[in-house]
Structure 1
């Protein structure tokens, strides 16, 4: 058993005073020595944190003790160390950026538990649709799944026409932890799709509870692990090195802060090219030091754990 835990979670629920809740929640995380990224919005809570087992257990108990988060589910993974270098608890307009005109509390696709998804995914009347960004599904996706060339969920309306001809099928959406699918499946329903399902808990829960069968490659995650193994049944590597084309599932962020592209880079090219995705990036005067992981903690101007996050962008951010 590894010494640290990583918690992935979300919950759509009205938060009447999100700024006050942000401050209270931030203090809770500080008291429990947790690191991670947490987003709080009027529509709910979304986060990934890491810490020692006892601290994570106390955190889960504290969150679940709030009636607003009784339905929240934690995906719990083991790790060798903290999965983050800092703690950020931010206030935003949405807990996942989408700008989609939907409310998951009013309408969303039918939730499928991992064992239900496992039984249904190979039905000839079923279509799997990946709701993640292009760099995420480039390193891993379900066999036969439809993917969209989109940078984020805000672009979904531009791609729905690609599956319009499948309205008579059972559509199962999936993403990393399930949060994007709450809105994506709701949006498909609003566009006339009738049989819409979603993988509850996402790829991570499916791997933890059902073994990850038929998920090829790795799952991109938003912490310093970058990408994690999911499939314990029939794993396969589907990605190639961005630089040399050899088969690899090592995902990095480009060491150039101006670029910061998410790409697959084999270990040899990583060291040879200092963690960059192009020769131009390699010449960036602000090049970050590559340590073999390809993960770089975000620098937030004006942010301290005690004072909170301040930004010139967005009136809600505190």
Structure 2
């Protein structure tokens, strides 16, 4: 074995809804496991399940997957893999929260060993395309992410709710803006699927009659179809990469906040205490004044990870 061969780094994204009786014990186990394998990332644990994204050397990540699946409730986790650099996460953070996704209403959902009770029907990426082929323009794609994420990538003709965080969704759904699609086939989507587990249940409880969610989210859809079907643009992700493409044919749909030139690149505000983002082309990013805190996109409001 060549000790000087370049190390392969990987990032995984995952979640599962399953009852956890002692979230604090799971926290200690996950924290110790990640530290022993030199993995960094973010893991949320609640009584409803676990949601995480971690990265490190491939052999260590593989061992993490094996060990995590030893827990009875986590055997069915689907881990979504992507290439990493080793610099995606500055540290390891494992926390217990009331909600896996911060909708601001912990009692909104119930879970059992099969997942969220009363959520939308899961569709594999191939089934999404079959639905579109069968029902045509009747199908409504409904973005379950923060509005700024859709600036660089979304499903074609999707509805993008005006929300800054997941906490805004219940109010947005109850506003009446979307009552006209209550009897249409609605396909909710988000990064890895976790936000739509809850969003689809929220919508069904409020009278949306035919609600679906993409199994594995945009990540799995993009892995299957790349840029050859109904997805267009880049996928915003919650680590230091900030965006990823599914192929070299990815369309650039984002526009620079300063000059409207095509771009997919979000930049962090220069103020250390600020967590806001601004969408800038390479030329505008060279001017320090363009990185000042004068924009309205924020990722500080949401505690969900990447789903």
Short-chain TM bin:
0.7 to 0.9
Q: Is 1:40 paired with 2:55?
A: no
Question: Which residue of structure 2 aligns with residue 72 of structure 1?
Answer: 77
For 1:225 and 1:236, locate their aligned partners in 2 and report how far apart those are by CA, in whole Å.
Answer: 18
Question: Which residue of structure 2 aligns with residue 219 of structure 1?
Answer: 235
CA contact (8 A) 2:184 2:210 kept: yes
CA contact (8 A) 2:278 2:291 kept: no
Q: 1:274 and 1:76, CA in 2 relative to 1: closer, same or farther beyond 3 A?
A: farther
Alignment: residue pair count: 281
Question: Which residue of structure 1 aligns with residue 170 of structure 2?
Answer: 157
Of 106, 120, 125, 1:114 maps to 125
Q: Which moved more, 1:119-128 or 1:10-19?
A: 119-128
For 2:90 and 2:118, locate their aligned partners in 1 and report how far apart those are by CA, in whole Å.
Answer: 37
State the shift of 1:182 in Å.
Answer: 0.3
Question: Which residue of structure 2 aligns with residue 261 of structure 1?
Answer: 276
RMSD, aligned CA: 2.2
Which structure 2 residues correspond to residues 190-209 of structure 1 after superposition, within 5 A?
190-209=205-224
Q: Which moved more, 1:263-272 or 1:25-34?
A: 263-272
Question: Which residue of structure 2 aligns with residue 186 of structure 1?
Answer: 201
Q: 1:2 and 1:138, CA in 2 relative to 1: closer, same or farther beyond 3 A?
A: farther
For 1:77 and 1:67, locate their aligned partners in 2 and report how far apart those are by CA, in whole Å.
Answer: 25
TM-score (norm 2): 0.85
State the shift of 1:108 in Å.
Answer: 0.5
For 2:222 and 2:242, locate their aligned partners in 1 and report how far apart those are by CA, in whole Å.
Answer: 16
Gaps of 5+ in 1: 282-295, 299-318
Of 1, 4, 28, 2:9 maps to 4
The ranges of structure 1 where at least 4 consecutive aligned residues each deviate by more than 6 angstroms after the TM superposition are none
Q: Which moved more, 1:209-218 or 1:174-183?
A: 209-218
CA contact (8 A) 1:263 1:277 kept: no
TM-score (norm 1): 0.83
CA contact (8 A) 1:148 1:159 kept: yes
Of 232, 243, 263, 1:248 maps to 263
